[in-house]
Structure 1
């Protein structure tokens, strides 16, 4: 737990900044009528700085909640969420042009994006002794949030939420725990009310994850009935048998070492259009096919094959944030800075907690933090099966009522929701790993309902 002395240092650092000095106009967005800010948050000893971007709500920024969005990885920028998912202007294809998002989250909330841990995006780390792990990430995030609230004092009474996806399933619970523990003695109390975790990694045990991944593919008929029957029945009792080994080899070839789009198994893989001179040259020399999710099981197969697509195109966003005029407009320090959507170096330095994060959720709930876990049903990385099994591992978890279909305002079937004693779990129909990118309306209405503590409308 952070000491009072460090808290004092954090607050003093924050007080030295003026939010108006960070006000910007986003290049390439076109006209808009809400405040936008970009700057750096310095905390602790000052050796680590987090880059942030803040968008005022288009409704009533003075009273609307503040939602912090955290990216995944570990090592991927939160600005992926801004530029491709929940921001007011998004890049929806490879033409390098921003288009208006019809369902931006800042229609109803103030949006804060922080690149973390230090070294991701435009955030920097000058501490060679720093250890990258989930506990330190949560504590650093807490310190950075404190600094942000000390700069933007007018929002200290607004309701506060943390949202994110993928590895944010680890970041968010550890950050929330650091906040609720820190609030017990902090001068500035962060008004955390809830968290929203999308397709989030809650269990890091590779054996449990691989079992869930396999079941996800089997349920969707990616394997023949014979292979499916072998894996489910024979492998469960005779994992070393020839029949099981052959079935497992077929599964790995078809579902892991293939061109299936793991972010959306019913979509198509994209080739990364990032120019060679903008591609990160990681110190480790190791290759990762899927840099957005470097811990995914499929990274162990065919990673030497240069012809296999990574199924995600970071080209447009890499080109945008490496543009000198963009960096100048965003007040990036020590320009020019090399910007990468995902830092593989950070991942290779990062120690993932073997306990996962699922055990933290009851603790948060008992302290009054509302929890929404949501999952796109076409994602293979952290699938619906993976999440459902992770939730059942939570100590004393109890389902309340039955699984219920929910609909959007157009009366379309949007998905299914299940209430538990500690949280709400929502499946978003027709979405993959990046739910707000593929189901903009449904994810927006889900977020808006949760933020305002309303029930999702039932599908009739």
Structure 2
């Protein structure tokens, strides 16, 4: 593949690409060789002309990168690094138990797609700067600038179908960011002078996402008290959650109606305290109802790896790694962003012809599959009646039933058995099978 930017860089050698279209923006990048040494990698920073520098790490597809799609991955939080996805979930990298040796992940999604991991807002992961993002919609603008500059620096990827994926608070990020792309694409198409590139967005995917709080808070009760894994709470706690939900619903609906920060903050404070977090009495992990909250069911050995000075130099990291940023979380929380509804953004994407995949591990509590299935089933969009007439059916990978799926009218929902919050960690083969099916446009059984 021939790239516009230099391709002969070696580990530890950085290059700079300055945008001719978005004046003041630049990319500084290296070409590391970790985990998946047979594919082209780029890592480094987007500088958006301010004090903010956003870290990224890109891996080419293991199979026909020139014809494979490009997938952008974001973790949630808000304020958590996409290196979580790279090292614990769908990325090419794994590390040993000491966190000192990188290794190859055979179930990485770059088996079938070019994959780009992006750390945002600016205090997250290896990113650094002023950290002035206070809402999901604010963050969408930076993500769009990043994609435009990435395409300008590496134009060979700019014509590939784009899939925008994320998890958890990605249920806010992904619909918002994708909608911003659609809006900008329309503006570019209508302009005779714009030098920005139309982004070939084909689909979005959200795993165990937080998208529609009004509905999802209701199903916190279901997951804690009446899931297929059994109740993890006492009857009195379950009754309290049930009795508190109506007030939560009233406050959340007010947030939806007024959109004011104060109303959305009030809704978030009450619903988390009086409904969602009663779950803490269970002593179970919010990310997996099968495990104690005192055990780390998803190891974080990669933290040692990313703290190594040699590794940091080779990937061009200029700041210490922060897995989840308290300041970014506080900034976004200060506007009541968590209580805002992003289901309408999903409906708009579907109506614009963008395919949507909602998937969920069925052992996760915090963004459980019941709530995600409920809001997506109630979504109103062109073709929603046809989708709602369908039902969940067994879904198999390699001849084994690994979940359930419902698919129609450009919308698909997939439930993955035996997976917690980070689906690709718990069920790597099923996860890759789902992703491959999706990007190839194939039906789920």
Which TM-score bucket, shorter chain as reference? 0.7 to 0.9
**Which position in structure 1 is the counterpart of 2:311?**
326
Unaligned runs of 5+ in 2: 1-18, 189-193, 249-272
1: distance between equivalents of 2:288 and 2:329? 23
Supply the RMSD in Å over aligned alpha carbons: 3.0
Q: Is the 8 A contact 2:221 2:238 kept in 1?
A: no
Q: 2:390 aligns with which of 394, 401, 407?
A: 401
**2:134 is the alignment partner of 1:119:** no
Closer, same or farther: CA 445–237 of 1 in aligned 2, 3 Å:
closer
2: distance between equivalents of 1:210 and 1:317? 32
**Which position in structure 2 is the counterpart of 1:110?**
114
Closer, same or farther: CA 229–376 of 1 in aligned 2, 3 Å:
closer
Aligned residue runs from structure 1 range 218-229, under 5 A: 218-220=225-227, 221-222=230-231
2: distance between equivalents of 1:17 and 1:388? 39
Closer, same or farther: CA 181–114 of 1 in aligned 2, 3 Å:
same
**Which position in structure 1 is the counterpart of 2:331?**
349
Closer, same or farther: CA 329–211 of 1 in aligned 2, 3 Å:
same
The alpha carbon displacement at 1:217 in A equals 1.7
Q: Is the 8 A contact 1:405 1:417 kept in 2?
A: yes
Q: 2:32 aligns with which of 24, 39, 55?
A: 24
Bigger Cα displacement from structure 2, 77-86 vs 414-423: 414-423
Q: Is the 8 A contact 2:218 2:245 kept in 1?
A: no
**2:434 is the alignment partner of 1:449:** no
2: distance between equivalents of 1:408 and 1:176? 29
Closer, same or farther: CA 232–393 of 1 in aligned 2, 3 Å:
same
The alpha carbon displacement at 1:96 in A equals 4.9
Could you give the per-residue CA deviations for residues 136-185 of structure 1, whole angstroms, max 9, x where no partner exists? 11111111111111111111111111111101111101110111111121
Q: Is the 8 A contact 1:76 1:341 kept in 2?
A: yes
Could you give the per-residue CA deviations for residues 104-157 of structure 1, whole angstroms, max 9, x where no partner exists? 111111010010112211112237xx3421111111111111111111111111
**Which position in structure 2 is the counterpart of 1:191?**
200
Q: Find the residue that maps to 1:373 and give its secondary structure.
A: strand
**2:271 is the alignment partner of 1:262:** no
The alpha carbon displacement at 1:91 in A equals 3.5
**Which position in structure 1 is the counterpart of 2:177?**
175
Aligned residue runs from structure 1 range 211-222, under 5 A: 211-220=218-227, 221-222=230-231
TM-score (norm 2): 0.79
Closer, same or farther: CA 394–93 of 1 in aligned 2, 3 Å:
farther
**Which position in structure 1 is the counterpart of 2:353?**
368
Q: 1:49 aligns with which of 50, 53, 57?
A: 53
Aligned residue runs from structure 1 range 388-427, under 5 A: 388-396=373-381, 397-398=384-385, 399-409=388-398, 411-421=399-409, 423-427=411-415
Q: Find the residue that maps to 2:288 and give its secondary structure.
A: coil
Closer, same or farther: CA 381–252 of 1 in aligned 2, 3 Å:
closer
Bigger Cα displacement from structure 2, 150-159 vs 382-391: 382-391
1: distance between equivalents of 2:320 and 2:317? 11
Could you give the per-residue CA deviations for residues 380-431 of structure 1, whole angstroms, max 9, x where no partner exists? 010012212322443354314221111001x111111113545111101111
Closer, same or farther: CA 142–95 of 1 in aligned 2, 3 Å:
closer
Aligned residue runs from structure 1 range 45-84, under 5 A: 45-84=49-88
**2:167 is the alignment partner of 1:165:** yes
The alpha carbon displacement at 1:95 in A equals 5.7
Q: Find the residue that maps to 1:24 and give its secondary structure.
A: coil
1: distance between equivalents of 2:342 and 2:277? 31
**Which position in structure 2 is the counterpart of 1:379?**
364
1: distance between equivalents of 2:416 and 2:178? 24
**Which position in structure 1 is the counterpart of 2:209?**
200
The alpha carbon displacement at 1:10 in A equals 5.4
Aligned residues: 387
Q: Is the 8 A contact 2:244 2:275 kept in 1?
A: no
1: distance between equivalents of 2:125 and 2:274? 38
The alpha carbon displacement at 1:267 in A equals 3.0
TM-score (norm 1): 0.76
2: distance between equivalents of 1:25 and 1:100? 12
2: distance between equivalents of 1:87 and 1:362? 29
Closer, same or farther: CA 50–252 of 1 in aligned 2, 3 Å:
closer
1: distance between equivalents of 2:245 and 2:23? 58
Could you give the per-residue CA deviations for residues 261-308 of structure 1, whole angstroms, max 9, x where no partner exists? 221111344557xxxxxxxxxxxxxxxxxxxxxxxxxxxxxxxxxxxx
2: distance between equivalents of 1:432 and 1:412? 19
Q: Is the 8 A contact 1:42 1:147 kept in 2?
A: no
**Which position in structure 2 is the counterpart of 1:155?**
157
Closer, same or farther: CA 268–180 of 1 in aligned 2, 3 Å:
same
Closer, same or farther: CA 67–117 of 1 in aligned 2, 3 Å:
same
Q: Is the 8 A contact 2:27 2:45 kept in 1?
A: no
The alpha carbon displacement at 1:42 in A equals 2.0
The alpha carbon displacement at 1:81 in A equals 0.5
